[in-house]
Amino acid sequence: MKEYKIVVLGNGGVGKSALTLQFVQGVFTPHYDATIEDSYRKLSKIEAENARLEILDTAGTEQFSGMRETYYKSAHGFILVFSLEDKSTFEDLKLTYENIARIRGKDVPLILVGNKSDLIGTRQIDQQFVEDHARTLNIPYFETSAKLNQNVAQIFEECAILILKRGGVKEN
């Protein structure tokens, strides 16, 4: 079976754990421990083939990057998450993206995610703005709600499909 190693990155509070737990366990956990960093496995079908997704839900920030370089080298693909209600979380992903691109090249399988799409009243970031930006970098962009389970499975599956297309996955 093919195994896809996906790392979820982004500032604290953007919903990395909520997205991961919604996908893997089908629940929305409103108060998940911010310091927990763990990997989760889920069986899935990618392009009609059984597959195992191994998802690393990271904690901490880019500054405390002792472990970061290890993830950057060993992951097959990356999901970069920001919160649609906090512009600085989008800005901070630029550094993350630059670090990944420096180590892995610009063709690395990578998906950009604006989470908390259910919070319409406090939204700070325009969808079209991010879409245009992502298109110039050739990065797929999705808006999700971990709370309402909108587009959640899609981001993990799209990341795996991108990994498959770019040849970065092993059979075992």
When asked if residue 15 is in the footprint of ligand GDP (CB under 6 A), the reply is: yes
Task: Indicate the residue among 13 and 165 with the shorter CB distance to ligand GDP.
Answer: 13
Least separation in angstroms between CB 167 and ligand GDP: 30
Tokens of 9: 């990155």
The answer to whether residues 108 and 78 touch, using CB atoms and an 8 Å cutoff, is yes
Residues binding Mg ion: what is the number (CB under 5 A)? 2
Helix (H) or strand (E) holding 24: helix 16-25
When asked if residue 26 is in the footprint of ligand GDP (CB under 6 A), the reply is: no
Task: Indicate the residue among 4 and 82 with the shorter CB distance to ligand GDP.
Answer: 82
CB atoms within 10 A of CB 172: 7
Site string for ligand GDP, 28-47 (x = CB under 6 A): --x-x-x-------------
Stretch that binds ligand GDP, among 61-69, 94-102, 110-118, 129-137 (CB under 6 A): 110-118
Tokens of 18: 């909520």
Binding ligand GDP (rule: CB under 6 A), the pick from 110, 146, 155, 164 is 146
How far, rounded to the nearest angstrom, does the alpha carbon of residue 70 sit from its chain's CA centroid? Answer: 17
Stretch that binds ligand GDP, among 65-73, 93-101, 114-122, 131-139 (CB under 6 A): 114-122
**Interaction partner, residue 26 (Mg ion, ligand GDP, none; CB < 5-8 Å by kind):** none
The answer to whether residues 62 and 88 touch, using CB atoms and an 8 Å cutoff, is no
Q: Where are the alpha helices (DSSP H) in 26-168?
A: 68-74, 87-104, 127-136, 152-165
Least separation in angstroms between CB 65 and ligand GDP: 16
Residue 111's nearest CA partner among 47, 157, 164 is 157
The answer to whether residues 145 and 155 touch, using CB atoms and an 8 Å cutoff, is no
Binding Mg ion (rule: CB under 5 A), the pick from 17, 83, 117, 151 is 17
Task: Indicate the residue among 64 and 170 with the shorter CB distance to ligand GDP.
Answer: 64
